[in-house]
Amino acid sequence: MSRSAHPAGPRHADVLPEGHPSAPPADLNHLDRKVWASTVTRTPDGVVSVGGIEVTRLAEEFGTPAYLIDEVDFRERARAWRTAFGEDADVFYAGKAFLSRAVVRWLHEEGLNLDVCSGGELTTALSAGMPADRIAFHGNNKSVDEIETAIRAGVGRIVLDSFQEIVRVAHIAQSLGKRQRVQIRITVGVEAHTHEFIATAHEDQKFGVPLAGGQAAEAVRRALQLDGLELIGIHSHIGSQIFDMSGFEVAAHRVVGLLKDIRDEHGVELPEIDLGGGLGIAYTSADDPREPHEIAKALHEIVSRECEAAKLRTPRISVEPGRAIVGPTAFTLYEVGTIKPLENLRTYVSVDGGMSDNIRTALYDAEYSVALVSRTSEAAPMLVRVVGKHCESGDIVVKDAFLPADLAPGDLIAVPATGAYCRSMASNYNHALRPPVVAVREGEARVIVRRETEEDLLRLDVG
Ligand SMILES: *Cc1c(COP(=O)(O)O)cnc(C)c1O
């Protein structure tokens, strides 16, 4: 798609280059509740605050860029998922979206379980007191050390991802004198992303054992034979940033079909199914995510209906939301450094972070929104692209958005919905120092992950 010059110039929002946002919002000072954490608001003097603290004060105290996480909002979302799914289901927060010890404690207190997919995530979870039996261990190539650590710790389940892993985990469990609870991750031939899903030919991926060709059935056969394993269920994860439940419907249908085959062949009804995560959030005002209670109701209905048709007892359901819990709870606060209007194109606004603190735009072409948060403005909207300070032209944070035309260096701008896959995917590219995560709650702010320092960089570089 071409983003070439438009004769009328995009700074006048009547004629815009291709691929632009359709029109500027009616009021640039307005904060759309859909994309901002629940305690974010504009104070009477125009400064945005979160958890009762103005961003200008937060920037002074903690510097920029910084991730500000709204603890109240995080707990509310975690609780909403827990409540929606009820006592006969389990919610596993996907730690890869964002994990820190404070977050582990919040999850524990709110009654959620936790998914980890590396030794590092497991250590973080255990060191913050998450009971091991509430941890699920994922990954397509867990090392022998990781498996051993997980089994010794007593994790509630290991999700097996390949034929080799079935044998490997069984062997390690047995040599430790244990019987490990496991699920087998299968690929059901469905891949869902945002508003559509594709129901064929999506077994071409590294995760899971394909249902096709009887491979999943064979994996189950082998797992059931091994003394070191207690097979408790089947796992399926179909994609990310999903809004449409029909992909889950097809996946559940196919997983229940496998449960039925297992019952018919082995006379066992596996007690659990895990339908994975991937539920979408609003990154911009154009997105309309589902509420947890709607998702829970839909999934419960789908599974019960399928099981009834197959004459199976309804298994215990688990889900693994990551983004849907943490994504909307945080925003990234940046200071504007330079502003470069390009005639007939757009205005480039450079901030003091970039692809090192948010790789999603460069990696997935993700859409974000942005707002001026250190003051209000009555100036006309100008079309901007918010970029970082890295030596890379793909270093884009927000592709297309509107900010007031009187934007100036030193202004603070914020990108909402950066709680998931931003700090957790942050890098040291250009030896950038990864920003802190500051948790804000009821007028108090506390660093939960500190800012990296140049000493941190030099400590790893042993000369
Ligand atoms: C990534 C992942 C999740 C979480 O995905 P979200 O999009 O953050 O909800 C859950 N389960 C598995 C197996 C995953 O790989």
pLDDT tens for 260-278 read 999 999 999 999 999 999 9
* Whether 368 and 306 share a structural domain: no
Domain containing 47: what range? 41-70+328-451
Atom of ligand 1 nearest to the CA of 240: 7
pLDDT tens for 378-426 read 999 999 999 999 999 999 999 999 999 999 999 999 999 999 999 999 9
Average pLDDT over residues 17-36: 84
**Does residue 14 lie in a domain region?**
no
Say how many C-beta atoms besides its own lie within 10 A of residue 213's C-beta.
Answer: 9
Mutation pick for ligand 1 pocket among 77, 205, 299, 320 (CB with most ligand atoms within 8 Å):
320
Q: Which strand (E) or helix (H) includes residue 349?
A: strand 347-351
pLDDT at 208 over 90: yes
204 confidence band (pLDDT: 50, 70, 90) = confident
* Whether 213 and 87 share a structural domain: yes
3-state DSSP assignment of residue 10: coil
* Whether 264 and 399 share a structural domain: no
- Select from 305, 326, 347 the last residue of a domain: 326
**Does residue 24 lie in a domain region?**
no
**Does residue 439 lie in a domain region?**
yes
Q: Which range has highest mean pLDDT (12-26, 199-213, 349-363)?
A: 349-363
Q: Ligand 1 mean position to 44 CA, how many Å?
A: 39
193 confidence band (pLDDT: 50, 70, 90) = confident
Q: Residue 18's pLDDT is what?
A: 59
Q: Which residues pair with 416 in a beta bridge?
A: 331
The answer to whether the CB of 278 is under 6 A from ligand 1 is: yes
2 confidence band (pLDDT: 50, 70, 90) = very low
CA distance 209 to 202: 12
Task: Look up 117 and say whether it is catalytic.
Answer: no
* Whether 168 and 279 share a structural domain: yes
pLDDT tens for 70-95 read 999 999 999 999 999 999 999 999 99
* Whether 61 and 116 share a structural domain: no
pLDDT at 444 over 50: yes
Binding-site entries: 278, 320-323, 360, 364, 392, 421
Q: Which two tokens stand for residue 189?
A: 């031939």
pLDDT at 13 over 70: no
* Whether 143 and 87 share a structural domain: yes
Q: Residue 191's pLDDT is what?
A: 83
Question: What is the model's pTM?
Answer: 0.94
Average pLDDT over residues 426-440: 98
Say how many C-beta atoms besides its own lie within 10 A of residue 394's C-beta.
Answer: 12
Q: Which two tokens stand for residue 98?
A: 């964002």
Mutation pick for ligand 1 pocket among 193, 237, 255, 425 (CB with most ligand atoms within 8 Å):
237
Average pLDDT over residues 38-53: 98
Structural domains of the chain, count: 2
Do the strands 53-54 and 272-274 form a parallel or antiparallel pair, or are they unpaired? unpaired
Q: Residue 202's pLDDT is what?
A: 65
* Whether 309 and 342 share a structural domain: no
**CATH assignment at residue 414:** 2.40.37.10
* Whether 362 and 226 share a structural domain: no
The dihedral over CA atoms of 298, 302, 303, 307, expressed in degrees to the nearest 10, equals 150
Q: Residue 20's pLDDT is what?
A: 59
Lowest mean pLDDT among 124-128, 243-247, 326-330: 243-247
